[in-house]
């Protein structure tokens, strides 16, 4: 297990270092977004893979973070650094609220309520023109100050910045999930909630914690996305976003954190690479991967070589 | 007619049956008793195809049936009555009977159901009521009647006396004995040892997933050890 | 005031027919298989594409288009259980893992939608109405096409409920939904019933797609907004209760229609989801469903 994890982390590190060695603008663009998706996938895994609370609405938290950051910077002139924190905080707050009903809902009912919430967020984003700019979204807001001006250098700096934030975040999540009692509680809840309760685990507290952490980091990913792409529209809250995230996590392996990270990097690379070949086939591959992996390779990449 | 030999099996990774064997000769009533958790219900479920055996032989009339689906085994002339909830409680008495005749033609089905209504006016009167509204004993009887529609040659019963008042236990067993006189073979798993010892031709004792003893009821009662271990001290 | 009320009521009623075709099939599939079909909307889209192919490409009459859509989606639906759900079931070994099936059908949805995009392109395809003209009532005007949707929905759903109530195979479907083990003991072949149920459910959506094609136009993602709205409707009516889904369809469609009187129209869609979220928090089994213990 540890060997596999090390291999996976090494793979992720190599993927991340690639653009540093090959500073092509196209590669950097894909890489930056892939790394942001990796953070989103990892955040999803914390809640759904580790704690077993399958969320179908992470697009909503992502969108909250993106919109909060963009709106704050555009309308209130907030600095992007603060904007990131704000986005994460708002997403975490909503996530915490979502956690309360989750205490009583299981399985697909929970998935549906999260899906409903994400859809509500998307509808609000599409229709609340004053706040969100409606279908056209928010644009024309500044990005991180102090980055070099030259086109390529700017991208490189941005990339390194995003990588730093994402690596830091994933490291924090990893610490929590693997090295603290909270992580043990998460896994206990996933395996057998009733048993966990009997053994004295405060499932309420830990479920809410998982929701808050997961949605907070998803919001952070949203903020990063906003400042990088410089445009936030209701599309970010769409089901396609959720679908991609789940696909990445399933592909990489639920409940490992590094699995979804690797899965995100590879799948996004595949997605964009295929787009190069012909726009229409990339999403087909994602759908196909989800189905095949759910049925035949439930442990994802993280499980290869391991006996059931 | 039914033969289980050296069967190993269980649920998921949990092994319940370790080396279970028994035989039900044509037209016989065979009982299976034993402590809780011995695997009696599991044995029945494995015989009927709900569970696939991990090893060993399950044969009906000499033909291997291990790994077949329950509906396939049913069509070979075997009926299965689970401990509880064999009926469709949210469907009417009549619809339950109609489902009992799922595998036969409309004409045969109607004749069989008419026969049941004639024999049990209680069901005819309440045929539009939900099956779940019947009392425990009535439900048990309905389940048996339903199973008979397709004229099975072998019935597998899981604790037919469970949760029944003594009066109903007698009634159910009287019915079973009468059916057996007509040639219907039965494999009955029972917790109520007295009830099954009174009617069985042969009894197998299952403990910890394997055979502990088998013989006629008289032989069982004759053995001090068996009496003490499985029949209760003061018998 | 009364006039507008009546007008919106009628419009809501007509919309309810479409919702019903969608939600009843979805609820039926869940009731029998315990699987939520996220890809339901894609069968709606495929129905539209089949109608387009029949009418615009092959110049066949509109009715043939609808029939083709029904048959085509039915046949495609027959493949879903054996190819996708059964293998997952085998691997899970009977342990109920609802969300994994949800992920599976989500994958199918993505796959189908993007396949449609690849095969047919993203353009909005136009399909001529099966019936043209407008019915002019005093309070409002309703196109015959919309009435056709309501009418076909009424006929098909009546047939479906009659089938479930009276026909031996329909009884078998209900039996499997209630108690799969006991159903097997009656000689019912579970895989066959599962496949049949999925096929029936998605065929209803396919017919809806063919009938709505003239009104919505045909494009790969046309079904998805309906799918998530249908989730809301089935939750309201009780997941797994097709009759409940039928009632809920009209409740939602009429509520949406009437809501235009009090809130701006673009917020209409929010109603269904708000209702769903509230329902899940307060009473997950919906108005008519069984207690949530499965």
CB contact under 8 A, C182 and B87: yes
| Pair B209, B16: CB distance under 8 Å | yes
Q: Per-residue pLDDT for C291 more than 60?
A: no
Same domain, B102 and B193: no
Does B234 score more than 60 pLDDT?
no
- β-strand pairing of B202-207 with B29-33: parallel
Closest CA relative to residue B80, chosen from C172, C178, C182, C190: C182
- Which of A 11-70 lie inside 8 A of C, CB atoms? 48, 54, 56
**pLDDT at C95 (0 to 100):** 63
Specify the pLDDT at position C39: 94
For chain C, the structural domain boundaries read 2-282
Other chains touching B, judged by 3 or more CB pairs under 8 Å: C
Confidence of residue A187 (pLDDT cuts 50, 70, 90): confident
* Nearest CA among A7, C245, C187, C161 for reference residue B149: C187
B216 lies in the same domain as B120: no
Number of CB pairs, chain B paired with chain C, less than 8 A apart: 64
Placement of tokens 């069509």 in the chain: B75
B126 located within any domain: yes
C190 with B88: Cβ contact below 8 A: no
Q: Mark yes or no for CB contact C187/B74 under 8 Å.
A: yes
- DSSP characters for B56-80? EEEEETTEE-TT--HHHHHHTTEEE
Question: Highest mean pLDDT: which of A193-197, C129-133, C179-183?
Answer: C179-183
Domains of chain A in sequence order? 2-303 (1.10.3470)
Q: How far is C151 from chain A (nearest CA, A)?
A: 30
Cβ contacts of C182 on chain B, cutoff 8 Å: 82, 85-88
Same domain membership, residue B55 and residue B171: yes
Find the DSSP H helices in A128-280.
Answer: 129-132, 151-174, 181-191, 193-198, 203-229, 239-252, 258-277
Higher pLDDT: C235 or A135? It is C235
| pLDDT cut 90: percent of chain A above it | 22
- By CA distance, what is C189's nearest residue in B? B71
C232 touches A at CB < 8 Å:
yes
Comparison of pLDDT for C243 and A79, the residue scoring more: C243
Predicted pLDDT of residue C176: 94
Q: Model confidence at C167, in pLDDT bands (50, 70, 90)?
A: very high
Higher pLDDT, C188 or B168: C188
Give per-residue pLDDT as tens, A248-291. Answer: 888 888 888 888 998 898 888 877 877 776 666 777 877 888 89
Give the distance from CA A287 to its chain's centroid: 18
Alpha carbon dihedral B10, B11, B15, B17, in 10-degree steps, equals -20
A135 touching C (Cβ < 8 Å): no
At B235 the pLDDT is 45
Chains A, C: CB contacts within 8 A come to 133
Does pLDDT of C84 surpass 60?
A: yes
Q: What integer best gives the mean pLDDT of chain A?
A: 84
Contact A207, A53 (CB under 8 A): yes
Judge if B99 and B144 occupy the same domain.
yes
Nearest of C113, B144, C38, C282 to residue A100 by alpha carbon: C282
Per-residue confidence (pLDDT) for residue C46, from 0 to 100: 95
B66 and B168 part of one domain:
yes
Classify residue B67 as left (phi > 0), alpha (psi -120 to 50) or beta: left
> What does the pLDDT read at residue C22?
93
pLDDT computed for residue A200 by the predictor: 82
Mean pLDDT throughout B159-171? 84
Check if A270 contacts C (Cβ < 8 Å): no
Q: Which residues of chain C lie closer than 8 angstroms to B69, CB-CB?
A: 184, 189-190
C269 CB within 8 Å of a chain A CB: yes
C175 touches chain B (CB under 8 A): yes
Kindly give, in sequence order, each residue whose CB lies less than 8 Å from that of residue A87, ignoring residues fewer than 6 positions away: A64, A65, A66, A67, A68, A69, A72, A219, A220, A222, A223, A226
As given in the structure block, the two tokens for residue C27 are 């609820």
Closest-approach residue (CA) in chain B for C178: B88
> What's the mean pLDDT in B96-111?
92
Higher pLDDT, B73 or A158: B73
- So what's the pLDDT on residue C293? 37
Select the residue of B70, B88, B150 nearest C179 (Cβ to Cβ): B88
CA-closest candidate to residue A286, choices A237, A246, A247? A247
Name the residue of chain A whose CA is nearest to C266's CA. Answer: A127
Inter-chain touch A120–C91, beta carbons under 8 Å: no
Domain boundary among B99, B116, B151: B151
- Report pTM: 0.88
Chain B CB within 8 Å of residue C187 CB: yes
Decide which of B101, B125, B151 is a domain's last residue. Answer: B151
**Average pLDDT for chain C:** 87
Q: Are residues B160 and B220 in the same domain?
A: yes
| Number of domains making up chain B | 2
Say which CATH number the domain at B161 has. 3.40.50.300
Q: Nearest Cβ partner of C178 from B70, B88, B100?
A: B88
Paired tokens of B181: 């006189």
Residue A138, pLDDT score? 81
Beta bridge partners of B210: B19, B207
Q: What is the pLDDT of residue B73?
A: 93
Average pLDDT over residues A97-107: 81
pLDDT, tens digit, 9 for 90 and up, residues B175-187: 889 989 988 999 9
Going by pLDDT thresholds of 50, 70 and 90, the confidence category of residue C90 is confident
Q: Supply the pLDDT for residue A308.
A: 41
Report the pLDDT value the prediction gives residue C100, as an integer from 0 to 100: 82
* A291 vs C129 pLDDT, higher one: A291
The answer for C97, left when phi > 0, alpha when psi is -120 to 50, beta otherwise, is: beta
Q: pLDDT category, A215, cuts 50, 70, 90?
A: very high
**Contacts C175 to B, Cβ<8 Å:** 88, 91, 99
Please say which residue of B151, B184, B199 terminates a domain.
B151
What is the crossing angle of helices A258-277 and A151-174, to 10°?
Answer: 150
| Chain A residues in contact with C111 (beta carbon < 8 A) | 284, 287-288, 290-291
Of chain C, the percentage scoring pLDDT greater than 90 comes to 46
Q: Does the distance separating the beta carbons of A116 and C277 come in below 8 Å? A: yes
**Does any CB of chain B come closer than 8 Å to the CB of residue C188?**
yes
The strand pairing partners of B213, in sequence order, are B205
The pLDDT tens digits for B203-227 are 988 888 788 788 888 888 887 777 7
Q: Check if the beta carbon of residue B185 is closer than 8 Å to that of residue B155.
A: yes
Give dist(CA C53, CA C125) in Å, integer.
10
Is the Cβ of C181 closer than 8 Å to some Cβ of chain B? yes
- Minimal Cβ distance to B86: which of C182, C188, C190: C182
Mutate to test the interface with B, among C166, C183, C187 (most CBs of B within 10 A): C187
User: Which whole number is the average pLDDT over A304-308?
Assistant: 53
pLDDT for residue C96 = 63
Query: How high is the pLDDT of residue A236?
Result: 87
Q: C229 CB contacts (<8 Å, ≥6 apart)?
A: C19, C252, C269, C272, C273
**DSSP labels, B32-43:** EE-STTSSHHHH
- What per-residue confidence (pLDDT) applies to A305? 57
d(CA C222, CA A283): 17
Token pair of A250, please?
Answer: 């399933």
- B71-98 confidence digits (pLDDT tens): 999 999 999 999 886 899 989 999 999 9
ipTM score over 0.85, yes or no:
yes
Using 50, 70 and 90 to split pLDDT, how confident is the model at A212? very high
Which residues 202-241 on chain A approach chain C with CB closer than 8 angstroms?
239-240
Task: Choose the closest CB to C168 out of B49, B91, B98.
Answer: B98
Interface partners of chain C (CB pairs < 8 Å, 3 or more) are: A, B
pLDDT band at C98 (very low <50, low <70, confident <90, very high): low
pLDDT average, residue stretch B52-78: 90
* Distance, CA of C192 to CA of C78 (rounded, Å): 9
Please indicate, yes or no, if residue B83 is contained in any of the structural domains.
Answer: no
Task: Report pLDDT digits (tens) over C204-220.
Answer: 999 999 998 888 888 88
| Domain co-membership, B158 together with B42 | yes
Mean pLDDT of C227-240: 88
Residues 6+ apart with CB under 8 A from C271: C252, C255, C256, C259
Tens digits of per-residue pLDDT, C35-52? 999 999 999 999 999 999
Quick check: C205 and C25 in contact, CB under 8 A? yes
pLDDT band at C247; cut points 50, 70, 90: very high
pLDDT of residue C153: 92
- State whether residue C62 is helix, strand or coil: helix
**Cβ separation A123–C107 shorter than 8 A:** no
Instruction: Report pLDDT for A306.
Output: 52
The residue count of chain B comes to: 235
Q: Verify that B69 and B157 share a domain, yes or no.
A: yes
Q: Say if C96 is an interface residue toward chain B (CB within 8 Å).
A: no
* C109 inside 8 A of chain A by CB: yes
Asked whether residue B161 falls in the same domain as residue B221, the answer is yes
Task: Tell me the pLDDT band of C138, cut-offs 50, 70 and 90.
Answer: low
In a domain, B156, yes or no: yes
Distances (CA, A) of A1 to A9, A172, A256: 12, 20, 10
> A152 falls in which pLDDT band (50, 70, 90)?
confident
Q: Please report residues of C whose CB lies closer than 8 A to that of A283.
A: 110, 113-114, 117
pLDDT at A279: 60
Of A211, A290, A199, the closest CA to residue A244 belongs to: A290
Query: What is the fold, at CATH topology level, of the domain defined by C2-282?
Result: ABC transporter involved in vitamin B12 uptake, BtuC (1.10.3470)
Q: Containing domain of residue B139, as a range? A: 88-151
My answer on whether B20 and B48 are in the same domain is: yes
What does the alpha-carbon distance between residue B94 and residue B113 come to, in Å, rounded to a whole number? 8
Residues B164 and B129 in one domain: no
């Amino acid at each position: 297990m540890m060997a596999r994890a090390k291999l996976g982390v090494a793979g992720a590190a190599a993927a991340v270092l690639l653009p540093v060695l090959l500073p092509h603008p196209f590669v950097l663009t894909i890489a930056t977004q892939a790394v942001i998706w990796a953070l989103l996938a990892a955040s999803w895994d914390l809640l759904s893979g580790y704690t077993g609370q399958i969320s179908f609405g992470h697009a909503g938290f992502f969108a909250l973070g993106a919109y909060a950051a963009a709106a704050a910077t555009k309308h209130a002139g907030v600095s992007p650094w603060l904007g990131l924190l704000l986005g994460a905080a708002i997403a975490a707050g909503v996530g915490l609220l979502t956690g309360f009903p989750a205490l009583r809902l299981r399985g697909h009912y929970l998935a549906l309520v999260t899906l409903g919430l994400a859809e509500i967020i998307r509808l609000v984003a599409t229709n609340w023109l004053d706040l969100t700019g409606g279908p056209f979204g928010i644009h024309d807001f500044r990005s991180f100050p102090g980055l070099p001006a030259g086109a390529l250098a700017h991208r490189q700096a941005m990339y390194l910045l995003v990588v730093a934030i994402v690596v830091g975040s994933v490291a924090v999540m990893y610490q929590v999930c693997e090295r603290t009692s909270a992580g043990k509680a998460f896994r206990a809840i996933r395996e057998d909630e009733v048993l966990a309760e009997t053994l004295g685990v405060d499932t309420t507290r830990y479920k809410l914690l998982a929701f808050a952490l997961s949605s907070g980091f998803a919001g952070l990913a949203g903020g990063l996305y906003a400042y990088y792409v410089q445009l936030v529209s209701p599309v970010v809250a769409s089901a396609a976003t959720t679908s991609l995230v789940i696909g990445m996590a399933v592909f990489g392996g639920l409940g490992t954190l590094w699995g979804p990270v690797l899965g995100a990097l590879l799948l996004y690379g595949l997605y964009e690479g295929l787009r190069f070949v012909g726009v229409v086939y990339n999403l087909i591959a994602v759908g196909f991967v989800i189905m095949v992996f759910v049925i035949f390779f439930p442990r994802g990449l993280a499980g290869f070589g391991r006996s059931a | 007619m039914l033969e289980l030999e050296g069967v190993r099996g269980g649920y998921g990774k949990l092994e319940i049956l370790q080396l279970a064997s028994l035989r039900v000769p044509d037209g016989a009533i065979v009982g299976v008793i034993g402590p809780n958790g011995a695997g009696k219900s599991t044995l029945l479920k494995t015989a009927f195809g709900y569970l696939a055996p991990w090893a060993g032989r399950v044969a009906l009339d000499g033909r291997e049936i291990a790994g077949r689906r329950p509906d396939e085994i049913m069509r070979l002339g075997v009926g299965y009555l689970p401990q509880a909830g064999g009926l469709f409680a949210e469907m009417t008495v009549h619809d339950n009977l109609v489902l009992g005749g799922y595998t036969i033609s409309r004409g045969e089905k109607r004749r069989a159901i008419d026969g049941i209504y004639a024999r049990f006016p209680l069901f005819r009167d309440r045929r539009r009521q939900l099956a779940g509204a019947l009392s425990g004993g009535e439900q048990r009887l309905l389940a048996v009647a339903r199973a008979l529609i397709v004229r099975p040659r072998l019935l597998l019963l899981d604790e037919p006396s469970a949760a029944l008042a003594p009066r109903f236990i007698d009634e159910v067993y009287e019915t079973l004995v009468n059916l057996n006189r007509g040639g219907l073979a039965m494999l009955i798993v029972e917790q109520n040892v007295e009830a099954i010892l009174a009617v069985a031709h042969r009894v197998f004792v299952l403990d910890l997933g394997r055979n502990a003893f088998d013989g006629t009821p008289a032989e069982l009662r004759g053995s001090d050890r068996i009496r003490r271990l499985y029949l209760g001290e003061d018998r | 005031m009364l006039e507008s009320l009546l007008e919106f009521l009628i419009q809501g009623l007509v919309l309810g027919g479409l919702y019903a075709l969608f939600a009843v099939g979805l609820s039926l599939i869940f009731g029998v298989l315990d699987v939520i079909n996220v890809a339901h909307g894609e069968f709606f889209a495929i129905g539209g594409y089949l109608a387009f192919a029949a009418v615009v490409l092959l110049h066949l009459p509109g009715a043939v288009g609808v029939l083709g859509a029904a048959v085509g989606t039915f046949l495609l639906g027959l493949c879903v259980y054996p190819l996708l759900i059964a293998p997952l079931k085998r691997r899970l070994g009977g342990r109920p893992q609802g969300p994994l099936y949800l992920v599976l059908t989500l994958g199918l949805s993505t796959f189908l939608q993007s396949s449609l995009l690849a095969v047919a392109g993203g353009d909005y395809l136009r399909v001529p109405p099966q019936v043209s003209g407008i019915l002019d009532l005093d309070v409002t005007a309703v196109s015959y096409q919309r009435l056709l949707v309501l009418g076909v929905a009424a006929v098909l759903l009546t047939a479906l409920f009659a089938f479930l109530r009276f026909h031996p195979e329909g009884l078998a479907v209900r039996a499997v939904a209630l108690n799969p083990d006991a159903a097997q003991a009656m000689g019912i072949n579970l895989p066959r019933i599962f496949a049949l149920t999925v096929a029936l459910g998605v065929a209803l959506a396919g017919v809806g797609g063919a009938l709505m094609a003239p009104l919505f136009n045909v494009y790969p993602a046309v079904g998805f907004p309906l799918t998530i709205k249908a989730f809301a409707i089935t939750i309201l009516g009780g997941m797994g209760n097709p009759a409940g889904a039928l009632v809920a369809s009209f409740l939602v469609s009429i509520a949406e229609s009437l809501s235009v009187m009090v809130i701006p129209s673009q917020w209409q869609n929010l109603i269904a989801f708000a209702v769903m979220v509230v329902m899940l928090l307060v009473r997950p089994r919906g108005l008519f469903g069984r207690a949530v213990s499965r």
